A = this chain, B = another copy of it.
């Protein structure tokens, strides 16, 4: 087991409200099942031959350090709609992939469109062939409590 080049990954997203912006963010992580680990923020490249998981591994130790790419936004302005999205492009032969993030005051369709364009440009400038595009996103309209929208790709060293 090595921390340096992740072997598996999963895409997740959620929205939540909370008593503060930080609690709203935390509550969104909890809904995603990653509220009890330590996220270490990465810039955003998918290692070659990554295996995509459909659900989180069991028995992740509390407080484990997991390399994660995430987009998030919090707001306490009632009536505002906020969204976060991550777009993942996978190359032919699973030789690597790219993750682009976007979060802002917009709908999730707009956030998804933004990350799609970014993935396409990332592949074009690298001369890579885009085999598959995947996206996760989350949208919430703020009511009377702080709210958060979070999208994440969590990577695992084993």
Q: State the A residues within 8 Å of B (CB).
A: 1, 3-6, 18-20, 22-23, 26-27, 29-30, 35-48, 50, 61-65, 67, 95-97, 100-102, 114, 117-118, 121-122, 125-126, 157
Contact = CB atoms under 8 A, between A and B. Distances in A.
Tallying the copies of this chain within the complex gives 3
Contacts of A125: 18, 23, 26-27, 30
B67 A36 contact: no
Contact of A45 (B37, B44, B96, B118): B37
A132 to B, nearest CB: 16
A3 B117 contact: no
Given A30-B125, A64-B4, A118 B23 contact: yes
A100 B3 contact: no
B23 A47 contact: no
A62 B38 contact: no
A81 to B, nearest CB: 21
13 contacts: A5-B65, A19-B117, A23-B121, A37-B45, A38-B45, A39-B43, A40-B40, A45-B63, A46-B63, A47-B64, A48-B62, A48-B63, A63-B96
A1 to B, nearest CB: 8
Given A5-B63, A101-B22, A29 B43 contact: yes
Contacts of A46: 62-63
